[in-house]
Chain A
Amino acid sequence: MNQDRRIRVLVAKPGLDGHDRGAKVIARALRDSGMEVIYTGIRQTPEQIVDAALQEDVDTILLSILSGAHGFLFPRIMELLKKKGLGDILVLGGGIIPEDDVPELKKLGISEIFGPGMSSQTLINYIRESLSQV
């Protein structure tokens, strides 16, 4: 990707879950590291998230969910991204997501799932490395 352009990130909260401490802390940390961060706010539908990703022309989407509804919402988001021609975008997940569910989510094209206790630097490095390979 273009080296002059700052990495653009969409931090999104799909579903009805209102827990966004993690999403906001991550958004802040990414912004402090020099990325452009757009936060959707809570209670977003898959359609709203994909529209925001398209409009904001982001390089990566970070999905945060703690309610356990990832099994329905993540596949729906990935399906809509493909439909809109955004199938190549880097999508990451975080929150409370059981390890058992991770292989299925990765099969959908979600690159990585980060759980509680991850440091923001780990995420920043992951995003930078993944995008520099594009």
Chain B
Amino acid sequence: MEEDIEKIQEETKRWNKDCMGKHTFRKVETDWGMEIKPLYTVDDTKDINYLEEIGFPGEYPFTRAPHPSMYLGKLWTMRQYSGYGTADETNKRYKYLLEQGQTGLSVAFDLPTQIGYDSDHPLSQGEVGKVGVAVDSLADMETIFNGLPLDKLSTSMTINAPAAILLAMYLAVAEKQGIGPEKLNGTIQNDILKEYTVRGTYIFPVGPSLRLITDIFEYCSKHVPKWNTINIAGYHMREAGATAVQEIAFTFADAIEYVNAGIKAGLRVDDFAPRISWIFNTHNNFFEEIAKYRAARRLWAKIMKERFGASDPRSWMFRFHTQTAGSALTAQQPLNNVVRVAFQTLAAILGGAQSLASCSFDEALALPTEESVRLSLRTQQIIAHEIGVTDTVDPMGGSFYIESLTKKMEEKITDYIERIDELGGAAVAIEKGYIQQEIQESAYRYQKEVESGGKVVVGMNSYQVEEPLPKGLLKVDTEVGAIQIKKLKELKTDRDNQKVQSTLLALRKTAEGYANLMPPIIEAVKAYATLGETCDVLREVFGEYEGTSVI
């Protein structure tokens, strides 16, 4: 074999010499500054130790897959990000998606819910039900999941600052369905650090926010053992402009901060690390995306084992959800997005996703219609059943280009993490604006490349056509705000207000002390304290995060 490699190296040199002068080779560079070679051979992978660096599916360092059988055992969860208007409309959309073969739920909440304001708050005006479903109290959550058996479904909730409250409501809905918390499968995003950098739905300052997160870790490890207690997110950083390398690096830096917080709160790393999950953004560059996920699996396993000394193999496992890139969709010639979404979905599957949301073609213009979201779900189903990519585990493994790119990306991600370590960790790096600045630089560079025509975006900066105004877009009923306010008024008349006050007082006392916040939050939501009332108690005790912004 060694002789073979020497021969191949010689022949590669010869081929380069023969061809480089004679033929035209376009120069190619990744967004993160690595030159891509015209040809990859065994020469590029000879330093990668197969047994140590690539290994086998389901075994450390998990480069090939987190599970031994992958899609041969179980397909990924098809989980479209969905929710709008009232709880009733959202419940109908979920039932429709499940009838169409979707296998998990993913709840999109409106902005007031994500920021802990009730629908009747002055700052909620105009926003109720717009980017997701409005939830003011347990009553809305009961309607969202009406007729949906929570012990047979897994539910992901994109909720961060008030994650503890929405989780408490979910537990309460399950209890009403007669389902114990130990039977529940699902995920809360619960990732506050990226809210400070790119997503913006923060409420509390860093310290109390980390306490809420570690309280959830602790509570769930005892009572809701199958729940993914955090879904650390690179998705939104990528949408904000980060490169693929920055996406993984900054997300891992955030993750390291959370693991440190858990350990500092007195938890054993193996008690909560197996419940860490992820969401990333699967973008346009096909092979880069596949390599990104392989690099992330390997690097996370190393971080958990070597840096944190985790000994449970489940702590080393990187299991991720991904959504295709919203920012890669164009408002121009929207049907072209069908093709983009299909390629991104394919990359996600070749990258080994556990759960996937594919965008709908009309999402650069509005929330998706039933028809467009169904087409997007069908895209996943075609990839799952018709084109053979699920017939073996990690079919891309061993490709000279993929393995070499995986290695390079792992190195670049590691460099960034080291830089953030030197700054004092993710929370400090965010406070200093370092992560925000790095992302903004990438976003601006990208924009300039698009505007100069250096990056071709089909239908937008090239191959344009005159087109009629788009038709048939989904419009959220403008009455949602009024409907929610009316429901709130009725709720406040019908509920036991004394009980609400006493549970909120108990929550306040706990917040002022050090005990776990989950039990009093659960009591308050069960008494139908509203989301806003519950958050207000915490705001009064914890204060609020002050956002800063530089350009």
In this complex, the interface size class of chain B, counting residues with CB under 8 Å from chain A, is 35 or more
- Alpha-carbon gap, A119 to B470, bound state (A): 20
* Nearest 4 Cβ contacts at the A-B interface: A18-B200, A72-B126, A41-B549, A69-B126
Interface residues in A24-64 by Cβ distance below 8 A to B read 24-25, 27-29, 31, 37, 39-43, 45
- Alpha-carbon gap, A96 to B365, bound state (A): 6
Are B443 and A41 in contact, CB atoms less than 8 angstroms apart? no
B201 — nearest CB in chain A belongs to which residue? A18
* B330-355 vs A, Cβ < 8 Å mask (1 yes, 0 no): 11100000000000000000000000
Interface residues in B435-470 by Cβ distance below 8 A to A read 440, 443-444, 447, 451, 457, 460-461, 469-470
Q: Which residues on the A side are within 8 Å of B130 (C-beta)?
A: 67-69
List 9 other contacts, CB 8 Å, given A43-B200, A96-B364, A98-B473. A18-B198, A20-B240, A25-B443, A42-B547, A69-B111, A72-B125, A117-B332, A117-B460, A117-B461
A68 — nearest CB in chain B belongs to which residue? B130
Candidate in B111, B195, B201, B366 with the most chain A CB atoms within 10 angstroms: B111
Using A18-B199, A42-B547 as known contacts, say yes or no to A69 and B241 having CB atoms under 8 A apart.
no
Cβ-based interface call for A131 (8 A): no
Interface residues in A86-117 by Cβ distance below 8 A to B read 96, 98-99, 115-117
Total A-B pairs, Cβ < 8 A:
107
Checking B240, B440, B443, B451 against A120 with a beta-carbon cut-off of 8 angstroms, the contacting residue is B451
Cβ-based interface call for A21 (8 A): yes
Cβ-based interface call for A127 (8 A): no
Using A16-B112, A96-B366, A120-B451 as known contacts, say yes or no to A67 and B551 having CB atoms under 8 A apart.
no
Are B447 and A25 in contact, CB atoms less than 8 angstroms apart? yes
In this complex, the interface size class of chain A, counting residues with CB under 8 Å from chain B, is 35 or more
Q: Measured between C-beta atoms, what is the minimum distance from A101 to chain B in Å?
A: 10
Q: Which residues on the B side are within 8 Å of A20 (C-beta)?
A: 200, 240, 549
B548 — nearest CB in chain A belongs to which residue? A41
Are B201 and A98 in contact, CB atoms less than 8 angstroms apart? no
Are B451 and A119 in contact, CB atoms less than 8 angstroms apart? yes
* B318-331 vs A, Cβ < 8 Å mask (1 yes, 0 no): 00000000010011
Cβ-based interface call for A121 (8 A): yes
* B181-206 vs A, Cβ < 8 Å mask (1 yes, 0 no): 00000000000000100111100000
- Alpha-carbon gap, A122 to B440, bound state (A): 21
B117 — nearest CB in chain A belongs to which residue? A16
Checking A11, A24, A73 against B440 with a beta-carbon cut-off of 8 angstroms, the contacting residue is A24
Cβ-based interface call for A79 (8 A): no
Are A117 and B126 in contact, CB atoms less than 8 angstroms apart? no
Checking A41, A42, A115 against B331 with a beta-carbon cut-off of 8 angstroms, the contacting residue is A115
Which A residues are closer than 8 A to B by beta carbons? Answer: 11, 15-21, 24-25, 27-29, 31, 37, 39-43, 45, 67-73, 96, 98-99, 115-117, 119-121
Cβ-based interface call for B389 (8 A): no
Are A16 and B365 in contact, CB atoms less than 8 angstroms apart? no
Q: Measured between C-beta atoms, what is the minimum distance from A13 to chain B in Å?
A: 9
Are B547 and A41 in contact, CB atoms less than 8 angstroms apart? yes
Checking B115, B198, B364, B473 against A16 with a beta-carbon cut-off of 8 angstroms, the contacting residue is B115
- Alpha-carbon gap, A21 to B549, bound state (A): 12
* B112-132 vs A, Cβ < 8 Å mask (1 yes, 0 no): 101101000001111100110
Interface residues in B74-129 by Cβ distance below 8 A to A read 111-112, 114-115, 117, 123-127
Are A67 and B241 in contact, CB atoms less than 8 angstroms apart? no
Q: Which residues on the A side are within 8 Å of B470 (C-beta)?
A: 99
A66 — nearest CB in chain B belongs to which residue? B131
Q: Which residues on the A side are within 8 Å of B201 (C-beta)?
A: 16, 18
Are A21 and B548 in contact, CB atoms less than 8 angstroms apart? no
Q: Which residues on the B side are within 8 Å of A37 (C-beta)?
A: 551
Are A67 and B111 in contact, CB atoms less than 8 angstroms apart? yes
Are B547 and A68 in contact, CB atoms less than 8 angstroms apart? no
Are B547 and A43 in contact, CB atoms less than 8 angstroms apart? yes
Cβ-based interface call for B537 (8 A): no
Q: List 29 A-B contacts (CB under 8 A).
A: A15-B126, A16-B123, A16-B124, A16-B201, A20-B549, A24-B443, A25-B241, A28-B551, A42-B547, A43-B547, A67-B111, A67-B127, A67-B130, A68-B130, A68-B131, A68-B476, A69-B111, A69-B127, A71-B478, A72-B125, A96-B364, A96-B366, A116-B364, A117-B330, A117-B332, A117-B457, A117-B460, A117-B461, A120-B447
B464 — nearest CB in chain A belongs to which residue? A117
Are B444 and A25 in contact, CB atoms less than 8 angstroms apart? yes
Cβ-based interface call for B239 (8 A): yes
Cβ-based interface call for B475 (8 A): yes
- Alpha-carbon gap, A113 to B234, bound state (A): 30
- Alpha-carbon gap, A19 to B114, bound state (A): 14
Interface residues in B397-445 by Cβ distance below 8 A to A read 440, 443-444
Q: Which residues on the B side are within 8 Å of A31 (C-beta)?
A: 551
- Alpha-carbon gap, A11 to B469, bound state (A): 27
Q: Which residues on the A side are within 8 Å of B111 (C-beta)?
A: 15-17, 67, 69
Are B451 and A98 in contact, CB atoms less than 8 angstroms apart? no
Using A42-B200, A117-B332 as known contacts, say yes or no to A21 and B240 having CB atoms under 8 A apart.
yes
Checking B117, B123, B195, B447 against A45 with a beta-carbon cut-off of 8 angstroms, the contacting residue is B123
Are A67 and B200 in contact, CB atoms less than 8 angstroms apart? no
Interface residues in B216-249 by Cβ distance below 8 A to A read 239-241
Candidate in B195, B239, B330, B451 with the most chain A CB atoms within 10 angstroms: B451
Using A18-B198, A67-B131, A98-B365 as known contacts, say yes or no to A117 and B331 having CB atoms under 8 A apart.
yes
A26 — nearest CB in chain B belongs to which residue? B447
Candidate in A16, A20, A25, A121 with the most chain B CB atoms within 10 angstroms: A16
- Alpha-carbon gap, A41 to B240, bound state (A): 14
Candidate in A24, A25, A27 with the most chain B CB atoms within 10 angstroms: A24
Q: Measured between C-beta atoms, what is the minimum distance from A98 to chain B in Å?
A: 6
